[in-house]
Each structure stands twice: as structure tokens, then as C-alpha cells.
């Protein structure tokens, strides 16, 4: 296709499609406020639009300006973020808001190079802010953009390899419309999301169909190419719930690991993947002489980017012995105030199920 279309012709076709056929509507589309663009992009990292949209709306309502976000306590931000996952994004969001408000006097950097210096802002987010807010001709490269270029141009380089990342960024940068970078960037992302979709793309109505490599070679389902996936680390957790109906014991995660700064019931990580007795594991771990289960343990599985979690929720009967041991190690929290704590999604769901939330 590159021999048939110049870079300018590619951009021209895309922008014509954007003007005549693009029906995709989102609240941040056409936005030029760098704070709101930054907020939307951070929330949408590794997140589907449908899932991220209510979080974006809640954050904008609660923190309409960077000053509001910077001045908020971290616990409030983590609570509002609860359920969205990848919690380091929320911590970076707060850190960067405070930096912009205090060190930069509330003014966002106005170019790609300086935006990249902000914590939690990578090349994609910096390009989005630079082009949408400041009309700087820097191409965004996300999954939608990669899919369009890979299929239309016939690029077989794994997009998640070092070579692939460089190649797709150069392709995107070479094809961007320098007069209308914001419109172009939005158009190619929308095109990938609505026409050149991962499954069942609308090839018959595609403006590039005539010379699209993947369409004409029957490789639409082959491209783009992903490098061999990493084997996910398997982890087994036992969450120990001790409550008398009025108070419950929690701990805050502080280690550099998943769910950092979130609250959870006392946890035991089990490294033997075979069968094990939860009563024996709990008794040995906490030094409780007699562990009696309140009910049958419930298991919840969750897949993260690099980990496969197998979580057992175990409620043990309240006893003076167990309560005394837990009070020395963990925080006793009023059940009535439990909804004020930011919890991992799986924990919150289980608490709802057993009527603690």
C-alpha cells in the first residue's frame, strides 16, 4: 500500500472518513483542557472505555481542577479508583497532580518532551496531551493505531517487541497530518476502534480496503502479530476474615506488590499449590490454637497482566484468642465505616456478598 498511497493520501482518506462517517462519541472527544485529557488518558490505560467512563465522570465531578486533585488525601483518591485496577496509576495521578500544582504553579507542560517528564506519563499519554491540547504533531500509538498500520501495510513485526515498538512509532509519526494532528490522532484511534476492530472488522466499508494488505491477502485474523506471551505467575492467597459483626480486622498493603496502599483482611500467601487445610494454615501462621470456620471457604480467581490469582476467602469464628492475636498485628475497623476504605476489587465483592458492605 505504501507504494500506492503517499503519507499525505493516507491522512487525507482517514480525515475524510472522520468527517463523513465517524460516529464515535465520548465526553473527552474534542477536549483541549490538558488536565481533563491527562485524566482521561490515565484512567483509560489498560482499561476498556466502557469500564473507564464512569470513573472519568466521577473524577471530573469530584476534582474538576488539578488543584482539587492535588489537595485531596490519597485515601480519597484510592477509594474513588477502587475496582479499576492497576492502582499505581492512581498513586502516580496524585503525585503528578501535586507536582503540577505546587512546582509548576498549576500549569501543564505544553510540549511532548516536557510532558514525558511527568510521573506516570508515557509516550502515548504525552502524545495525546501534546496533540489534543497544544496541537503538536506527535502521533499517538495505541492498540487501535497498531492494528490499522499492521493490517493496511502488512507489518509482521511483533508490535510488543523492541523493534516493533520503534517501527510502529516511526510509521505513525511519518503518517500524521501535521496541519491537523489532533483530528488525525482521534480519527485513527476511532477508526481502529469502530472499523478495523480486533474481531469482525468492517472491511467491506473500509476506506483502505482496495489496497489493504491483510484484507487482500486473507490475513485480517493474523495481523497484528504479538510476541510469545509471558507465562503468568500463579499465586494463592488465603484471606482471613475475623468479625463479630461490629468490627473487622484489616491491614494495609505497603510492599512493592499488587494492590499497594489498599486495605485487605489479614492475608496468607500459600506457596504449595497442592491441597491444603485452611484451618491448619491459619493456625500455624497466626499461632491460634483452635481455628473454627464460620462457613465454607469461597474461592475467587482473577487474572492480572502478569499474574494468575487464586484467592480463598475464609471467615473464622470470633474468639477471644483470635481477637487478641489479631489486635496486636492488625487494625480493628468498624464495619459501619468499612465503605470508607479502598479495597481490592475481589475483596470488596466478597464483602458485599457476605453483607459487610
Whole-angstrom distance, CA of residue 142 vs CA of residue 183:
16
Backbone angles phi, psi at 128, to 5 degrees: -65, -45
Whole-angstrom distance, CA of residue 282 vs CA of residue 273:
16
Q: Which helix (H) or strand (E) holds 264?
A: strand 263-264
Whole-angstrom distance, CA of residue 331 vs CA of residue 27:
41
Whole-angstrom distance, CA of residue 244 vs CA of residue 99:
43
**Can you tell me which residue has the cell 476502534?**
193
**With b meaning 16 or more CB within 10 Å and e meaning fewer, what string describes 265-276?**
bbbbebeeeeee
Enumerate the active-site residues: 41
Sheet holding 263-264, edge to edge: 263-264, 247-252, 331-334
- Contacts of residue 174, Cβ cutoff 8 Å, sequence gap at least 6: 7
Whole-angstrom distance, CA of residue 116 vs CA of residue 113:
5
The pairing of beta strand 233-241 with beta strand 331-334? unpaired
- Contacts of residue 105, Cβ cutoff 8 Å, sequence gap at least 6: none
Amino acid at each position: 500500500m505504501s507504494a500506492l498511497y503517499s503519507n499525505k493520501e493516507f491522512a487525507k482518506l482517514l480525515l475524510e472518513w472522520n468527517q463523513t462517517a465517524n460516529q464515535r462519541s465520548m465526553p473527552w472527544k474534542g477536549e483541549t483542557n490538558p488536565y481533563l485529557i491527562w485524566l482521561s488518558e490515565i484512567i483509560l490505560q489498560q482499561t476498556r472505555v466502557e469500564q473507564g467512563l464512569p470513573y472519568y465522570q466521577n473524577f471530573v465531578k469530584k476534582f474538576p481542577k488539578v488543584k482539587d486533585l492535588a489537595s485531596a488525601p490519597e485515601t480519597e483518591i484510592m477509594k474513588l479508583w477502587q475496582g479499576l485496577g492497576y492502582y499505581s496509576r492512581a498513586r502516580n495521578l496524585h503525585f503528578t497532580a501535586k507536582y503540577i500544582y505546587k512546582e509548576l504553579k498549576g500549569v501543564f507542560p505544553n510540549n511532548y518532551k516536557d510532558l514525558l517528564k511527568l510521573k506516570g506519563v508515557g509516550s502515548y499519554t504525552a502524545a495525546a496531551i501534546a496533540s489534543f491540547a497544544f496541537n503538536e504533531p506527535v502521533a499517538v500509538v495505541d492498540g487501535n493505531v497498531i492494528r490499522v498500520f499492521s493490517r493496511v501495510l502488512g507489518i509482521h513485526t511483533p508490535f510488543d517487541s523492541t523493534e516493533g515498538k520503534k517501527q510502529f512509532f516511526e510509521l505513525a509519526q511519518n503518517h500524521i497530518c501535521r496541519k491537523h494532528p489532533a483530528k488525525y490522532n482521534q480519527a485513527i484511534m476511532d477508526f481502529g476502534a469502530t472499523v478495523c476492530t480486533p474481531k469482525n472488522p468492517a472491511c467491506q466499508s473500509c476506506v483502505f480496503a482496495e489496497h489493504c494488505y491483510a484484507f487482500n491477502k486473507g490475513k485480517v485474523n493474523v495481523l497484528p502479530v504479538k510476541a510469545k506471551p509471558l507465562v503468568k505467575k500463579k499465586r494463592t492467597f488465603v484471606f482471613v476474615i475475623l468479625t463479630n459483626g461490629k468490627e473487622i480486622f484489616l491491614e494495609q498493603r505497603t510492599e512493592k506488590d499488587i494492590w499497594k496502599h489498599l486495605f485487605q483482611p489479614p492475608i496468607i500467601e500459600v506457596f504449595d499449590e497442592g491441597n491444603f487445610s485452611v484451618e491448619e494454615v491459619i493456625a500455624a501462621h497466626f499461632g491460634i490454637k483452635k481455628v473454627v470456620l464460620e462457613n465454607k471457604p469461597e474461592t475467587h480467581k482473577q487474572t492480572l497482566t502478569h499474574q494468575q490469582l487464586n484467592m480463598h476467602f475464609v471467615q473464622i469464628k470470633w474468639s477471644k484468642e483470635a481477637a487478641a492475636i489479631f489486635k496486636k498485628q492488625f487494625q480493628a475497623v468498624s464495619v459501619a465505616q468499612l465503605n470508607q476504605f479502598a479495597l481490592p476489587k475481589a475483596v470488596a465483592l466478597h464483602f458485599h456478598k457476605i453483607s459487610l458492605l
